[in-house]
Structure 1
């Protein structure tokens, strides 16, 4: 099979056996020309075995098995490096738990093809919405986004969103080795780094659906990591310390 012809959809998985087949089927329906890379962190529920079965039935699906739960951020870095090395134009981030709708993939890719270095699926913009989240959780998410925007002087409305299409040419301008955070923190750090170097970003309204199966990977530790890092980056931004290796290569918003 010829690689690198267009988009690589990266699906990190951990305890996703209930949702992965439907997500893959949706990608294949709505983005039939894309390749899919499933990165499984030794899920004890058999997700890796299901991924292998999907790959055996579809030559455009590959699976990478990792030895343990190494985290969302490191999984995406594996996918980004493969997308760059194999010549893909776009790398797509997407959850495997059903919270991101495959029917909205074409809109993200259209924005990237129209010039966005980062097409960001956004909940907190006109047209964006959330299904089946309690009001309390929405409030917490909005508050976290507001803190990040203020601390980082960012113009983005949904820094924590994990539904994205990225042009690999822009990923090559980021020192991926220095991206060390996980979960929400990884999404914030990458989007902010790209914003800082002048990457054209288009926030595309998305519908976020609360997962119907499996188990959320969100934890107190991941949330705390994100908050501590955002506040640290904001402090360094204001008091002159170098905040990232790419800082001098683009404008400072």
Structure 2
């Protein structure tokens, strides 16, 4: 693995991931020993936050950000990004706690930063794959990515994926306080903003594996919000129209796109 351009912080949002968090952090540090980890816990009732505190007490590479309640994946990442920007970290990683994002893939994502500003772990480029998803789940994901690619006019094949790496300069320039998207749509929003700002966005193949423990937070409302917002962005970009972004208010559930 090529050396990343500075200290790395891996932001890991959690909500009821007590069974998964410990193994995920252990695998991460086996793959990238120097990476710091920020667990952003939304007051998980299963004790995930308490476990995160135990991990932090035992390992100074682990930090914990406790939030007062379940406010959604996008909000958790944004708080994690803001925390990262208060310190010295030059590389910020998004990674799920449930084991679906293999920490063993992270060295390849970090190496790709040599020629990129944002690196997306991609299930749908050559070499990428999905393991143990039901066919309808994969079709929903592929369909959402195809629609987003066509609507926004970007050549990204997995714009909804949540395993990605940002250079610090990207997060500093993207005006995080203006990002309101959640769940499935948050990932599209961040990648779209990076493209619009002129940053180099590259995809690297990953293996995405369905979680073994716990339940996915995906639901129809998350997908509906994403389709609406992507349509709005696409129309606004192509025709210069200003379209409302929330037809029925924001959706704040977590999601695995």
TM-score by length of 1: 0.91
Q: Matches of 1:64 and 1:84 in 2, distance apart?
A: 14
For 2:222 and 2:186, how far apart are their aligned partners in 1?
A: 10
1:235 equivalent to 2:235? Answer yes
1:142 is aligned to 142
Counterpart position of 2:250: none
Instruction: Give a deviation string over 1:95-136, Cα, whole Å, max 9, x none.
Output: 000000010111111111x13110100001000000001222
2:162 maps to what in 1?
162
Determine if contact 1:7/1:35 at 8 Å carries over to the other structure. Answer: yes
1:2-54 deviations in Å (ceiling 9; x for gaps): xx951000000001011110000011111110110000001111111111111
1:132 aligns with 2:128: no
TM-score by length of 2: 0.90
Write the mapping of 1:1-253 to structure 2, written as runs, cut at 5 A: 6-112=7-113, 114-241=114-241
Q: C-alpha distance in 1, partners of 2:77/2:67?
A: 13
The superposition leaves residues 209-238 of structure 1 with CA deviations (integer Å, 9 ceiling, x where unpaired) of 000011212122211111111111111112
Which residue of structure 1 aligns with residue 255 of structure 2? none
- Displacement after TM superposition at 1:87 (Å): 2.3
* Equivalent residues of 1:8, 1:37 under 8 A apart: yes
**Structure 2: how far apart are the matches of 1:78 and 1:103?**
25
Measure, in 2, the Cα distance between the counterparts of 1:158 and 1:143. 10
Point out where structure 1 has 5 or more consecutive residues left out of the alignment: 244-253
Let me know the Cα RMSD of the aligned residues.
1.4
SS of residue paired to 2:93: strand
Structure 2's unaligned 5+ residue stretches are 244-257
Number of aligned residues: 239
Q: Which runs of 4+ in 1 moved over 3 A?
A: none
In structure 2, C-alpha distance between the alignment counterparts of 1:94 and 1:84, rounded to whole Å: 17
Instruction: Determine the C-alpha separation between the residues in 2 that align with 1:145 and 1:186.
Output: 13
Listed one character per residue, the Cα deviations across residues 179-211 of structure 1 (whole Å, up to 9, x for unaligned) are 101111000000011011211111000000000
